[in-house]
Structure 1
Amino acid sequence: MDGKVSSNAVPVANVPNSDRISRLNKQFFVEFKCNPSFYVKVPGRVNIIGEHIDYCGYPVLPMALEQDILIAARVLNEPKIHIQNIDTKYGKYDLPITNNFGELEIKPDTNGKPFWYNYVLCGIKGALEFFNKEKINGVQFLIDGNIPPASGLSSSSALVSAACLAFMYAQNEIPNKTEIASLCAKSERYVGTQGGGMDQAIAFLAEKYSAKYITFKPLNALPVALPEDAVFVVAHSLAEMNKAATNDFNRRVIECRLAAKIIGVLEGISLDNKIVTLSEVQINLSKSLEEMILLVKKHLPNEIYTKQDICKILRINEQDMDNLYLTPNTKTLQEFKLKQRALHVYEEAKRVEDFRNACSQCRENENGFVNTSNGDVTQNGKNSNKTLNILGQLMSASHESLKTLYECSHDNLDRIVDISKELDVHCRLTGAGWGGCIVALCPKDKAEKYIDTLIEKFYVDYCQLNRSKAKQYIFVTTPNHGAMIYTN
């Protein structure tokens, strides 16, 4: 590869000796009658706190998982793309690379659900539009993923990111981490969802043993030390939801945009101002989060706003509203919940700041003492239950807000939360919602009992699974590193 590798470049390392790599390598040879040129690995993520606020411009606090998307790739001299999955239930896909490939339309199936390979094409399309090359190398991809699909653990974003990274590397590019994270966030929107960039940012900027406080414009990731006497447990609700298959996700995005526009206009900001997000309104008005919460209650008092209501406030017609603010799959909507969505966003943004501050205030000082976020001082962190409780209360409040204000929870998620409360363990849905997983902050000495209880009360009693199968849906996790490139 040409060029110098900076500390901000995606790391390149020797291919690890593992059973998974060996299995993928053997299958690659069966499918393509040759060996891979290189491998790319991109992790999934669990968002600890800060849900549905990245696309509003607010910081989030995720960490990378051990589960990942792994691509075995070979560079071809001919302009063709071959996409296969090691799981045979996912069909193969081949196509030529033409001069107008950047104009490729990525279409869903007849039910509006994306084909699995559409996420791969999103990454490739983004890469092709990023660089201007006369000659493009073709690729063969064999993909292996162990992130549960539709789980809220960012399997789709990891697939987009892995495909983009692998395709760029096949063109002799050494990507910059922040640059490719932003590129992949944009690329995934080709599949139809208006995400904010958290998933792609943590995929590339994650570091082992540390969660990340991620800010946007400019993209940056700062390490957050998590409590050493607690673990995070991830449990699947067994309810799956593909956010690109419905308009539920995009509906929340545009409701936040409309709320931002109305608050801005009613506070004297010109309608012509290019403000799009709730964070941009706050910055423009120079208000605190607490003050923005009061403005939401002042300017958005109604439980429901019709399309006509919004047009009247903004002094536009319905066609202008469709063209300026709505996405193709939300133009048929006639009613919007603006107050509820904006309240969640501003209150959740405040919870992220409080969570980060609580973590930073629970660091050992030079005398071997720990200052907890409520001012208590304990020796060597042995009595940090109060800090864990503060963090846990923030996570529980986040779930309640997602359930009642954002309306993106699910009965199965709520049941896990209720069972957790019985054990005095705090948890919340993680990811887009409507199914997927919860993430729980659990003291280490409670983790085994907590997992056993969830298996018995949720998976066995409620979902009617046997214990051995139930164990695959719940795991303890610690922060993992971000994307990697492996070469021989």
Structure 2
Amino acid sequence: MSIVPHLENLSFYSNEKAQKIRYTNLASRFYEDFPSTEIEFFARSPGRVNIIGDHIDYNFFPVFPMAIEVDVVVAVSTNDSNEIVITNTKSDEFPRETIQLPSSDNEVTMNPNHGWANYFRCALIVAHKFLLDTQTKISLKGMKMCFDGTVPTGGGLSSSAAFCVASTLAILYASGITQLSKSDLTRITVVSEHYIGLNNGGMDQCASVNGMPGHAMAIHFKPELKALPCKFPVKSLTFLITNSLQVSNKHDTAPIHYNLRVVEMAIASDILAKKLDVDAAKDSNLGTSSLRSVMEAYCGKWDGDDIDVGISNIQQMIDAVEALQREGYTTDEVCRELSITQEELNLRYFTKFPVKFDKLKLYQRSKHVYHESLRVLLSLKLLQDRPTLESQFLMQFGQLMNDSQEDLDKLNESSNAKLNEICSIALQNGSFGSRVTGAGWGGSIVHLTTIDKVPTLTQVLTDLYYKREFPAINELELKEAIIDSQPAMGSCIVSTKILQ
């Protein structure tokens, strides 16, 4: 069993000196916010970039992300009060909040005026449930906490997941769970954001918890949740991540974007199962079938490990999707397909998470899921086979990323003209593959490149995108918007010895 590590130095960062200054500044801010209080430990969790495999995790298909060095760090002190006080180094954006500890029979309630503290409440809910479920006599502790984050909010690099995981880890460690397994931390945090109405899968949290320096992670959700480290065969390979600075707030836009995709895919799964005359497991977040369960009902169970079997099964499903009509579905048409009433339709698909739409694009969403899932397996196979020439690997992996971007734009509609433009600029100036990463509708682009190409690629993107779109952008903002990242360390506890 792999335990969340406890570290006594900052050598896991690429720039240890800069991070020492950052942690020292965080400590200074903590002591300003909480005079006469001692920091007992730091908890941290990183953001992630999904290299390939977006909008398929909640259909339980494998994904291929990596943890990146930008992260959320929290300085923590415990006490015997019945409240937790949270502050942030960016106090203008994230004001001080006080949250009451729940009793054993009283759950945490969300603030209807959604703000950053609601994400902390998500962490408190899952941490509290974990303590109750383990039937320990350990209870939640009062705390004083100061957060600092370098993951850009709304940038598609999973700032909210990093925050929720770091918070959950801090709460449990403060309560005495000092030997927390990575599998437990992953399992309890994958549902954390459901409490604010985001119907996400588990990729973000799993990548954040299990990140490993030098390795991307092949994350499987069925038949069990697991993260398998994968090393790239090209030593000079790196990923440049560019924040488009088009902010996509998942909470605010979920009804027309993220949650709508979840609902469309759930409805598509049920219609496809009926057309194929199969009894698919009801395993989705909505209690419906998923596109993975339809595949297994139609093609047979797949353990996730045999890549060739997975490729063959997914190719069959790509053909099967042709049974869905391309022009989209009205709610009346869905009712006819499933032989249900409007009331049953609303109850089954539209009550758990709010959505807004004109037509449900079931064909396009299903096609994207199966195409994208196939590309993940082809990527893993490419890593497995390891082409002799480094250039061959870069070209083939890059093409899979470019094909992914094409489908994200045309089938999933989670890209846009500006994001496509960034991809185009990059591909002409040193990127082998460029694609929207994360939820989309703004956020970041990930570019496959090599270390020697980074300076030129960075400069061209600066000149042709950032300075043109944002003429007033300064050097600090540019530095935060363009991240050159190798795979990084996942969640950990950091000792206060690093301040010495």
Does TM, normalized by the shorter one, top 0.5?
A: yes
> Contact between 1:212 and 1:224, CA under 8 Å: does it hold in 2?
yes
- 2:439 matched to 1:436? no
Query: Residue 70 of structure 2 corresponds to which residue in structure 1?
Result: 67
CA-to-aligned-CA distance 1:133-189 (integer Å, 9 cap, x gap):
574311111100011110000000110111111101111113221121121111111
Query: Residue 417 of structure 2 corresponds to which residue in structure 1?
Result: 411
Query: Whole-Å Cα distance in 1 between the matches of residues 492 and 368 of structure 2?
Result: 35
- 2:294 matched to 1:269? no
Query: Residue 23 of structure 1 corresponds to which residue in structure 2?
Result: 25
Identity percentage of aligned residues: 31
- Structure 2: where are the runs of 5+ without partners? 11-18, 301-312
Opposite residue 458 of structure 2, the aligned amino acid is I
Query: Cα 1:125–1:171, aligned 2, differ >3 Å: closer, same or farther?
Result: same
> Contact between 1:259 and 1:339, CA under 8 Å: does it hold in 2?
yes
Offset of residue 84 of structure 1: 0.9
Query: Residue 306 of structure 2 corresponds to which residue in structure 1?
Result: none
Runs of 4+ in 1 over 4 A off after TM superposition: 270-275, 331-334
Query: Cα 1:13–1:303, aligned 2, differ >3 Å: closer, same or farther?
Result: same
Query: Cα 1:140–1:404, aligned 2, differ >3 Å: closer, same or farther?
Result: same
Query: Whole-Å Cα distance in 2 between the matches of residues 272 and 482 of structure 1?
Result: 33
Query: Cα 1:125–1:399, aligned 2, differ >3 Å: closer, same or farther?
Result: same
Query: Residue 168 of structure 1 corresponds to which residue in structure 2?
Result: 172
> Contact between 2:155 and 2:443, CA under 8 Å: does it hold in 1?
yes
> Contact between 1:225 and 1:360, CA under 8 Å: does it hold in 2?
no
Offset of residue 471 of structure 1: 3.7
1:415-430 mapped onto 2 (5 Å cutoff): 415-423=421-429, 425=431, 426-430=433-437
Query: Residue 207 of structure 1 corresponds to which residue in structure 2?
Result: 212
Query: Whole-Å Cα distance in 1 between the matches of residues 402 and 434 of structure 2?
Result: 6
SS at match of 2:265: helix
Query: Whole-Å Cα distance in 1 between the matches of residues 462 and 24 of structure 2?
Result: 33
Query: Residue 477 of structure 1 corresponds to which residue in structure 2?
Result: 485
1:463-474 mapped onto 2 (5 Å cutoff): 463-465=470-472, 468=475, 469-474=477-482
Query: Whole-Å Cα distance in 1 between the matches of residues 139 and 118 of structure 2?
Result: 23
Query: Residue 279 of structure 1 corresponds to which residue in structure 2?
Result: 292
Between 403-412 and 269-278, report the one with greater CA deviation. 269-278
Offset of residue 472 of structure 1: 3.2
TM-score after normalising by structure 2: 0.88
- 2:8 matched to 1:14? yes
Offset of residue 327 of structure 1: 4.4
> Contact between 1:303 and 1:340, CA under 8 Å: does it hold in 2?
no
- 2:245 matched to 1:243? no
Query: Residue 391 of structure 2 corresponds to which residue in structure 1?
Result: 385
Q: Over the residues paired in the alignment, what is the CA RMSD in angstroms?
A: 1.9
Offset of residue 432 of structure 1: 0.5
Between 269-278 and 61-70, report the one with greater CA deviation. 269-278
Opposite residue 281 of structure 1, the aligned amino acid is V
> Contact between 1:102 and 1:129, CA under 8 Å: does it hold in 2?
no
Offset of residue 204 of structure 1: 1.0
Query: Residue 52 of structure 1 corresponds to which residue in structure 2?
Result: 55
TM-score after normalising by structure 1: 0.90
> Contact between 1:15 and 1:39, CA under 8 Å: does it hold in 2?
no
SS at match of 1:387: helix
Offset of residue 322 of structure 1: 1.9
> Contact between 1:185 and 1:197, CA under 8 Å: does it hold in 2?
yes
- Structure 1: where are the runs of 5+ without partners? 1-6, 363-371, 378-382
Offset of residue 393 of structure 1: 0.6
Offset of residue 466 of structure 1: 5.0
> Contact between 2:127 and 2:171, CA under 8 Å: does it hold in 1?
yes
Query: Residue 296 of structure 1 corresponds to which residue in structure 2?
Result: 321
Query: Whole-Å Cα distance in 2 between the matches of residues 101 and 20 of structure 1?
Result: 40
Query: Whole-Å Cα distance in 1 between the matches of residues 130 and 359 of structure 2?
Result: 38
